[in-house]
Structure 1
Amino acid sequence: MPFKRHIPNLITLLNLASGLIALIFAFNTNWQMAFFWVSMGIFFDFWDGFFARTLKVSSPIGLQLDSLADMVTSGVVPGLAIFQMLAGIADMQEELNLQSDNFYMGLLPYAGFIITLASAYRLAKFNVDTRQTNSFIGLPTPANALFIMSLPVIQIYSDGDGIIFDLLSNPYVLVGISLLSAYMLNANIPLFSLKIKYFNWETNKVQFTFLIISVLLLFFLAYLAIPLIILLYVLLSVINNTFWQAK
């Protein structure tokens, strides 16, 4: 059936559409909805590859389209999120006459787009890197996007008080997060794939461990669990590379 070869690409376009909608909400600092639409884009990003493999209609165009969609949903949107957070801090400091250097603080928000540039480089590298067919090297852009997009939502739910709010209201912390994000996207660190091919513990113990702990964290911590889950993903990958795969 000729139509079936278009199904994965249509799903990929839904990823792109979700990213565009998330951009609108991010521009308006509606962080809950921006997070929701980025999550929807990542959901579609998972299923386009699944249907391409299931229907046996994978194509070079689909690969390129997938990266272009990810560039918006998982590259541009998180970069804009950090830009908006830093710009909000700069505006607040200006209103309170706390800024000692308006020019410097006016430039600082653009540091958020380091994430976008690093995401573009990672996606281009991923398309030509034959080592990343069954696992990842460096943090995948969707995981990084969830990490970044959770930050303004966590800030909202912290009710303007506490150490977490103070950290996320510090411009230098946000710039540091942007730099760390850019590094992790392109770091030469093998990370396990979340695809489960066989439902047995020995083959998928790292995936099952990750999923069980992630569900528990989400149940008890809600949005606060998301950055912890991304950190857990990296930590379990290091443990897997060092101990479990070595056996």
Structure 2
Amino acid sequence: MLRHLPNAITLLNLFCGACASLCLLYGRLEWAIGLVALGALADLLDGMVARWLKVHSELGKQLDSLADMVSFGLVPGLILYVLIANALNGEWPHDLEIRALPAFLITLFSALRLGKFNLDDRQTDGFLGLPTPGCTLFMIGLLGLHLAPEAHFNFILQPVALYAITILFSILMVVEIPMFSFKFKSLQWTGNEIRIIFAAIAGLLVLVWQIKSLSAIVLLYILTSFFIYFSKRKPLS
């Protein structure tokens, strides 16, 4: 019976993603944010439980990707869709807004990202491109900004900026630039310097800006990964 526990946790992730999608359509944003957080926790736990029980299976791997496609593929696209529709019309969407449909580029590139990840054996200790949960966290940060607007950052919720974010993050998910993971191989400082410093900064940002900080944290993660990558490249002779 215990061998089915990891798959049950994965299905909880899928359920949370489906419910979060409904909450976004009905304007229940706080519920949507909470459900995405619960789904992300389930996504983290299913692998840990599978390793603990030593019950890895091909079914579990496929279920994980399918659940992620909803929670971290459909959901971020839907977040951008409702935010663009709201920015265009001045109210939460009550009907189909064709001009906001480009937001689902995020969903399409999430599917491409997840498919590539399943076939790529180079991403065991890190990532090539932005992981789909990172993209989703950025979009959750935008929801936080919508719920508690900041005068200095309101331009981010304008249609042009949201379209640009759609294109940028679609590209970031499939670009083959290494990005560091948060897997700690040990509890020592050596070898984990970047992870520990980043986690401390991220925690501080969350304390100051709460949910709105998630977008800034993801941007910091991307910039840090880019800096590490380009600083290690050998200059052309």
Q: TM-score, normalised by structure 1?
A: 0.87
Displacement after TM superposition at 1:40 (Å): 1.0
State the superposition RMSD in angstroms.
Answer: 1.9
Kept after mapping to 1: 8 A contact 2:140/2:215 = no
Q: Which amino acid aligns with 1:137?
A: L
CA distances 1:197-244 after superposition (whole Å, capped 9, x unpaired): 200111211111111111111111212211111111122223333558
Identity %: 38
The counterpart of 1:182, out of the listed 170, 182, 200, is 170
User: Is the aligned partner of 1:130 residue 2:121?
Assistant: yes
Q: Which amino acid aligns with 1:42?
A: A
4+ runs deviating over 4 angstroms = 242-246
Kept after mapping to 2: 8 A contact 1:74/1:141 = yes
State the partner residue of 1:163.
152
Aligned length: 230
The counterpart of 1:52, out of the listed 30, 47, 50, is 50
User: Is the aligned partner of 1:192 residue 2:180?
Assistant: yes
Q: Secondary structure at the match of 1:191?
A: strand
Gaps of 5+ in 1: 94-104
Q: Secondary structure at the match of 1:90?
A: helix
Displacement after TM superposition at 1:107 (Å): 2.8
State the partner residue of 2:10.
12
CA distances 1:140-179 after superposition (whole Å, capped 9, x unpaired): 1011111112212212201xx62322331x1111110010
Q: Secondary structure at the match of 1:139?
A: coil
User: Which shows bigger deviation, 67-76 or 50-59?
Assistant: 50-59
State the partner residue of 2:107.
116
Q: Secondary structure at the match of 1:194?
A: coil
State the partner residue of 2:207.
219
User: Is the aligned partner of 1:43 residue 2:22?
Assistant: no
Bigger-Rg structure (1/2): 1
Q: TM-score, normalised by structure 2?
A: 0.91
State the partner residue of 1:76.
74
Q: Distance in 2 between matches of 1:132 and 1:140?
A: 11
Kept after mapping to 2: 8 A contact 1:190/1:241 = yes
Displacement after TM superposition at 1:245 (Å): 10
User: Which shows bigger deviation, 173-182 or 220-229?
Assistant: 220-229
